[in-house]
Structure 1
Amino acid sequence: MAAQPAQESIRSTPLTRMADLAGTGARVGMNYLKYYGQRAVSSDASKPALRRELDEVNARDVYASFSRLKGGPLKLAQMLSIDDNLLPPAYAAQFSQAQYSAPPLSWPLVRRTLEREFSQTVEALYDSFSPEAAHGASIGQVHQATRDGKKLAVKVQYPGVADSMRSDLRVVKPVALQILGLREEDIAHYFTEVETRLLEETDYVAELKRSQEIAAACAGLTGLRFPAFYPDRCSARVLTMDWMEGVTLDRFAASSATQEERDRIGQALWDFYQYQIHVLHLFHADPHPGNFLVVDGELIVLDFGCTRAITPEFHEKQFAFLNPALLESDAALEAALRDMDVLLPADGPAQRGKIMDLARQSIELLTRPFQTERFDFGDPAFMQAIYLMGDANRQDRSLRSLRGARGRSESVYLNRAFFGLFSLLHRLRATVETKSPPAV
């Protein structure tokens, strides 16, 4: 990938960031008005092409704004791009760039941040420091440095990201709702959950603590490696850790790796998530391929900025759905759905029936990997069935009558983790042992 030109400045105040996002929203709105005007006088045969053109123009405008601002907007693009089937193709193509790289900030801005955080010069902090970013992401960018003979990765947070996160998300929300075709009243508590997690991602002190805790707890798992951190070179806006060599997970998946190699990496990935979720009740909640490297048959886990803790009570209720007997009893299934706020007290018989049918379909499909000793994630039928179910649900107009926010907010990132895990294992075409959490 060609190097992107450095960004010389970043809008760091809530007002200037809101102005940028509002301008993008206005352009998107104007594009829709133009589209509806053209659609009204076009033949049925030409309407799909008009819609594709609208999506392409809007996707470019939205991603350009998000990548300029970084922070919450760019993180939202990254989150949405995990599911290739969630977005229209034009948006998926643009937003997928957020998984790996964003236009980096210029060296003077990076130097200023480092020296403000530590009250020392960069030369005093590190023996050498590359002024060019090795990776640019949503919340910060990574530079290579050395100290005492060790090669280091230094993650520097973008200026203004933490202070502007809430205001960014308020302005981004209408754009996201338009892209996804959702109603604000039905996702309010989910959006609060996303906001909470994104605010946590701007706290590098908390990320340092989580990184060390999870790495230590998972140290006994086979086939995993984690970078070591250097707390004396970490702060609320800077993290310093070992530089890890390897290829990103998707590049490994696209390589000529043998099935045995794919299965080994897939098993390490599966075990990592099962141990976190079922034993630690704390998990890495950002499973996109740029957060994992592969080297010498081992999986390297990067970036613990986004994690989620779950309570034992929530865990028990959530994973009760793995019991096949639940689908054999209407009363038991209804009780479980009410426990998880999927069925609401105001639901009438028709709504209840619709939700119960959807739940049976979803549970049967999504729990398949857990109902057998080994599961072949390389079988295209499994992920295709998930995509088709999602498409059918989005196109089902009757679902729009199901008012109210449904499901526990804790489910947002747990579902994201499992969908991301399934997607990564599918890319790997891995067959893994799935029946129980690994022992350490």
Structure 2
Amino acid sequence: MPDDERRDPRISGNAFTRTAKLAALPAAFAGRTTLGVGKRMVGRPAEAVLSEVQRRTADQIFSTLGQLKGGAMKFGQAMSVFEAALPEEIIGPYREAFTRLQDAAPPMPPSVVHRMLAAELGEDWRQRFTSFEDTPAASASIGQVHRAVWADGREVAVKIQYPGAAKALQSDLRQIGRLSRMFGVLVPGLDVKPLIKELQDRVAEELDYSLEATSQAAFAEAYAGDPDVAVPPVVTHTERVLVTEWMESVSSLAEIISTGTQAERDHFGEKFARFLISAPQRVGLLHADPHPGNFRILADGRLGVVDYGAVARLPDGFPPAIGHLLSVAVTGDAEAVTEGLREEGFIKPGVQIAPEVLAAYIGPFFEPATVEQFSFSRAWLREQMSRVMSPGTEGFGTAVKVNLPPNYLLIHRVWLGAIGVLSQLEATAPFRAILLESLPGFADQGQH
């Protein structure tokens, strides 16, 4: 292996370093937990001790994930959309570092980039471009993007996969899977195992840029000329290189979360929600990676959307049962909601749940659809998460009884992720009207 590849922190030569950093987390976690038990024995309130353990755990988790690539970065990006649900005293000092996971990673050396392009596009790869910038314009968990000019004069984005990305992803995700109990400390009751399992299952799919190219091309065709959403068309691709038209942006949704005005938060929050909910009906696909770094702000006010490596294939759009159940939930018919969820497999045969308890548990999923304009906020989301996920609460008891059918896994993740992003934005949006436009089976309350 060439020397410059050994030095690249994303390549297998540094797998030991990544594994060592991840492996150090459980020991520190065990020490903090033992310390917490000792403090409780000498009279410290349990809530104060848990908060201290949470802060120390958050410190090490966030700082470690920030140094890792591969699967650790992918996991950090997936988790970052839930940042708004974490208690302010826990997330406050780390918000900037955690959000940075959504948009940044160190670059590959130019020599490695050139070898990748030669291997994927041919030794004469430079003839395909009139210019190519060696310094990447953006980088993320499994690849980085370079700006270039295609031979026909079009400005393009060249997405190049990191060498050894597959091995790094699989190794990191296996290791993170062993540490899943730690992450529940940040939000008691939160189970990240399904998220890790989903990331593991989708590694092969996300590593194949040919699949991503097919998905992006479908989105680009469906949204061509759209006044609100822009999707860059695909120029060419291989399994490890993807070339698309360049999309000039002035900022990202992550920046709007950090510094945007309320008008910008509302404007782009509405476009974000409308895109996610309209896509299955228009494209037959659901963009399944809704972290803010994938949504760009264009100078003309449109929302640019990138990264189509993770999609849910919904050729017939959202299942009509989702819209129907939301409609029934909005009317307050708890028994009908319970029966509908049982029919869809969310409640396994033999499991008994009181309809009114279940209705309260799923409130965050349908509450935004009960009013003309709903104001999302961090405080609202934290309240909902605490109500349904804190041990000892009625909601937590309900959570362990609810099943998630495999065909709803990605939909569930995107729905929760979208609520998380809208809460980060603290956006006010006509969520019910958006559902009425694009969600099959959803009808206005007045029709029931």
Q: Within 5 Å, which residues of 2 pair with 1:321-400?
A: 321-324=325-328, 328-329=332-333, 331-347=335-351, 349=352, 352-353=353-354, 356-372=355-371, 374-377=372-375, 380=377, 384-397=379-392, 399=396
- Give the match for residue 205 of structure 1: 210
Residue 434 of structure 1 pairs with residue 434 of structure 2 = yes
Shift of 1:221: 3.5
Q: Within 5 Å, which residues of 2 pair with 1:247-262?
A: 247-252=251-256, 259=263
- Give the match for residue 137 of structure 1: 140
Residue 196 of structure 1 pairs with residue 196 of structure 2 = no
- Give the match for residue 235 of structure 2: 230
The question of whether the paired residues in 1 share the 8 Å contact of 2:330 and 2:370 is answered with: no
- Give the match for residue 3 of structure 1: none
- Give the match for residue 82 of structure 1: 81
CA-to-partner distance for each residue in 1:165-203, whole Å, 9 max, x for gaps? Answer: 44432221122332125999x876665433233432111
- Give the match for residue 278 of structure 2: 275
The question of whether the paired residues in 1 share the 8 Å contact of 2:10 and 2:165 is answered with: no
**Under a length normalisation based on structure 2, what TM-score does the superposition of the two structures give?**
0.80
| CA distance in 1: counterparts of 2:116 and 2:406, whole angstroms | 35
Label 1:404 to 1:9 Cα distance change in 2 as closer, same or farther (>3 A): farther
Residue 408 of structure 1 pairs with residue 412 of structure 2 = no
Q: Which moves more between the two structures, 304-313 or 154-163?
A: 304-313
Shift of 1:111: 1.7
- Give the match for residue 112 of structure 1: 115
Residue 287 of structure 1 pairs with residue 290 of structure 2 = yes
Label 1:368 to 1:329 Cα distance change in 2 as closer, same or farther (>3 A): closer
Label 1:189 to 1:250 Cα distance change in 2 as closer, same or farther (>3 A): closer
The question of whether the paired residues in 1 share the 8 Å contact of 2:329 and 2:337 is answered with: no
Shift of 1:253: 5.3
Shift of 1:387: 2.2
| CA distance in 2: counterparts of 1:243 and 1:279, whole angstroms | 23
The question of whether the paired residues in 1 share the 8 Å contact of 2:72 and 2:173 is answered with: yes
CA-to-partner distance for each residue in 1:195-252, whole Å, 9 max, x for gaps? Answer: 2334321110011110010121123543222212211xx2111111222222112334
Give the 3-state SS of the residue equivalent to 1:283 in structure 2.
strand
Give the 3-state SS of the residue equivalent to 1:128 in structure 2.
strand
Label 1:52 to 1:314 Cα distance change in 2 as closer, same or farther (>3 A): closer
Label 1:137 to 1:147 Cα distance change in 2 as closer, same or farther (>3 A): same
Label 1:166 to 1:63 Cα distance change in 2 as closer, same or farther (>3 A): closer
The correspondence for 1:101, drawn from 104, 118, 128, is 104
Paired residue type of 2:314? I
- Give the match for residue 312 of structure 2: 308
Paired residue type of 1:237? R
| CA distance in 1: counterparts of 2:19 and 2:64, whole angstroms | 11
| CA distance in 2: counterparts of 1:138 and 1:73, whole angstroms | 8
Label 1:135 to 1:430 Cα distance change in 2 as closer, same or farther (>3 A): same
The question of whether the paired residues in 2 share the 8 Å contact of 1:130 and 1:145 is answered with: yes
Question: Percent identity among equivalent residues?
Answer: 23
The question of whether the paired residues in 1 share the 8 Å contact of 2:262 and 2:427 is answered with: no
Shift of 1:59: 1.8
The question of whether the paired residues in 2 share the 8 Å contact of 1:131 and 1:143 is answered with: yes
Shift of 1:121: 4.6
The question of whether the paired residues in 1 share the 8 Å contact of 2:271 and 2:303 is answered with: yes
| CA distance in 1: counterparts of 2:420 and 2:52, whole angstroms | 31
Shift of 1:429: 2.9
Label 1:389 to 1:358 Cα distance change in 2 as closer, same or farther (>3 A): farther
CA-to-partner distance for each residue in 1:92-132, whole Å, 9 max, x for gaps? Answer: 65432220101222222222211111222553332222222
Label 1:22 to 1:404 Cα distance change in 2 as closer, same or farther (>3 A): farther
Shift of 1:258: 7.5
Residue 169 of structure 1 pairs with residue 179 of structure 2 = no
Paired residue type of 2:386? D
| CA distance in 2: counterparts of 1:36 and 1:264, whole angstroms | 44
The question of whether the paired residues in 2 share the 8 Å contact of 1:8 and 1:105 is answered with: no
| CA distance in 1: counterparts of 2:224 and 2:438, whole angstroms | 12
| CA distance in 1: counterparts of 2:72 and 2:104, whole angstroms | 14
Give the 3-state SS of the residue equivalent to 2:349 in structure 1.
coil
What count of residue pairs does the alignment treat as equivalent?
416
Label 1:96 to 1:344 Cα distance change in 2 as closer, same or farther (>3 A): same
The question of whether the paired residues in 2 share the 8 Å contact of 1:145 and 1:152 is answered with: yes
Label 1:404 to 1:252 Cα distance change in 2 as closer, same or farther (>3 A): closer
Residue 296 of structure 1 pairs with residue 296 of structure 2 = no
Q: Which moves more between the two structures, 398-407 or 189-198?
A: 398-407
- Give the match for residue 417 of structure 1: 414
Q: Which moves more between the two structures, 146-155 or 264-273?
A: 264-273
**Under a length normalisation based on structure 1, what TM-score does the superposition of the two structures give?**
0.81
